[in-house]
Amino acid sequence: MKAMPMYQPSWRREALDNSGGQILDLETAVKDGILRGGGGFGGGGNAGVITGGGVGEKVDLKRMIEELDLCDDVPTVFICPISLEPMRDPVTLCTGQTYERPNILRWFSMGHNTCPTTMQELWDDEVTPNRTLHHLIHTWFSQKYLQMKKRSEDVQGRVLEILDSLKRVKGQARVQALRELKRVVSAHASAKKAVVDNGGFGLVSSLLGPFTSHAVGSEVVAILVNLTLDADTKVNLMQPAKVSLVIDMLNEGTIETKVNCTRLIEMLMEGNDFQSEMVSSMSLLVGLLRLIRDRRHPNGVIAGLSLLKTICSHKQVRNLVVSVGSVSQLVELLPSLNSDCLESALHILDVLSTLPEGITALKDCPQTIPNAVKLLMKVSEVCTQYALSILWAVCKLAPEECASVAVENGLAARLLLVIQSGCSPTLKQRAAELLKLCSLNYTTTIFISKCKLTRTIQ
């Protein structure tokens, strides 16, 4: 059977040479709009050679694709229609469609005899290497890779300049240098590496101390939270004078500084050398609760709850957390929190309910029962679990006083929903136990009415 002629799009027909239907060069591709928006093209025999410092380096296409994070910038003609990834070994079918070789061969191995894009039946199952497209792809990625390397070198040089200036300047000039370093480190991964490789950790952290101004301290903290702290740096930052400064800024700084101080303390708590005495500070906990209560700044609420949750994981500090009034403040916040913050806040209250002082504080807070009951079967199973645990602890502590209040706030009906839901068996069992505890103060008829049911409770 004679092979049918291969369909050629208009741009392909105008750019054919004698090599069997290939694009002539990069200039033609850009002119015809094949690579619209790609930018930075140039033909020539040196495509794929990255030059720097006068030395040419041949870079593998796979490596360039992996190291470049280009997302939607890659021209669509470079994308394999099957994998939606850039092609490294493009081959063309008789229909004129091009695919990555391993992808189209896998398609054939599955028994298909059609073009995946057009679904045309193939009259020729040969695949032809598309060398010109491969050249285009390699050249385009080489240009992008060169630009990335150039930016990286420029950034690293700038980091070295700033670190050098920090050894000499003081006052407002130091603040400006730190601000510039913060900007560079926040924007470029290579800047972070340059700080680490050139002793920046020690230099920057040395600027924190008992006589450091908040203007300098806030910029230092903003830099540190953008880096991955090593063990030695964490030990250095846990010096009492440095921790005291960070806590002061948490109480008195801007919202950005407060959030950064919160994040830094949490980062320090992740180290093996962390001592709970570092966070056994009334000033820290008061500042943290003030940040959590400030509803104008959701990012502050999230950061504050995250750190308080981490602090409560240390048993030695929990009594202090209760003593600063955190229980009642968190309970009052529950109705205004989003789902993520709710889980953190309920987790903290659940942990504190294991202390005699904590459960007493929960019982004495008039909003504990109403707010906890409303959260049953409303947000998530995790929130239901924590709310149920808190209600169980409170009602168990004072059943005659608290159980009736809970029932009046609709607890019985909510518990029946939990029992009938798809929640875990453990959660259902706890709900049944709490329902039984609450029923002890009522006759069967009255309790059924409280459940808003017309049938007998089995």
pLDDT in tens, 206-233: 999 889 999 999 999 999 999 999 888 8
SS (H, E, C) 45-70: CCCCEEEECCEEEECCHHHHHHHCCC
Split at pLDDT 50, 70, 90, the class of 150 is confident
Q: How far apart are CA 377 and CA 179, in angstroms?
A: 47
Q: Which residue has the higher pLDDT, 49 or 203?
A: 203
Taking only the tens place, the pLDDT of each residue in 79-129 is 999 988 899 999 999 989 999 999 999 999 999 999 998 899 988 888 999
Mean pLDDT, residues 445-457: 57
- Tell whether the model's pLDDT for residue 138 goes beyond 70: yes
pLDDT of residue 443: 66
Q: pLDDT value at position 158?
A: 84
Which residues make Cβ contacts (< 8 Å) with residue 458, sequence separation at least 6?
none
Residue 451 has pLDDT above 80, yes or no: no
Kindly state the percentage of the chain with pLDDT values over 70: 82
pLDDT of res. 67: 67
Residue 114 has phi, psi (to 5 degrees) of -130, 165
User: pTM for the full model?
Assistant: 0.68
130, 22 in Cβ contact below 8 A?
yes
Question: pLDDT value at position 336?
Answer: 93
The string of pLDDT tens digits covering residues 247-293 is: 999 999 999 999 999 999 999 998 677 888 888 999 999 999 999 99
DSSP 458: -
**Cα separation values, 24 from 11, 43, 74, 135, Å:** 11, 10, 20, 11
Between 187 and 181, residue with greater pLDDT = 181
pLDDT confidence tier of residue 20, bands split at 50, 70 and 90: very low
pLDDT attached to residue 51:
45
For residue 413, what pLDDT is reported?
A: 87
Measured CA to CA in angstroms, residue 391 lies from 99, 168, 354, 366, 433 at distances of 61, 60, 12, 13, 11
Question: Encoding tokens for residue 71?
Answer: 């997302």
The pLDDT assigned to 340 comes to: 85
pLDDT value for 439: 84
Provide CB contacts within 8 A for 261, sequence distance 6+: 221, 246, 247, 249, 250, 253
Q: Element (H or E) spanning 100, and its range?
A: strand 98-100
pLDDT greater than 50 at residue 15: no
Task: Give the closest residue to 160 by CA, choosing from 179, 177, 175.
Answer: 177
- Number of helical (H) and strand (E) elements in the chain, helices listed first: 24, 5
**Local confidence band at 69 (pLDDT 50, 70, 90 cut-offs):** low
Burial letters 402-437, b for 16+ CB under 10 A, else e: bbbbbbebbbbebbbebeeeebeeebbebbeebbeb
Question: What are the tens digits of pLDDT across the range 318-377?
Answer: 999 999 999 999 999 999 999 889 999 999 999 999 999 999 999 999 999 999 999 999
Q: What is the pLDDT of residues 26-52, one digit of tens each?
A: 455 554 554 444 444 444 444 444 444
Kindly give, in sequence order, each residue whose CB lies less than 8 Å from that of residue 441, ignoring residues fewer than 6 positions away: 399, 400, 403, 404, 407
Q: What is the mean pLDDT of the chain?
A: 83
Going by C-beta distance under 8 Å and a sequence separation of 6 or more, which residues neighbour residue 192? 185, 226, 227, 228
User: Could you please report the per-residue DSSP string of 358-411?
Assistant: HHHHHHH-TTHHHHHHHHTTTS-HHHHHHHHHHHHHHHHHSIIIIIHHHHHTTH
- Compute the average pLDDT of residues 13-38: 43
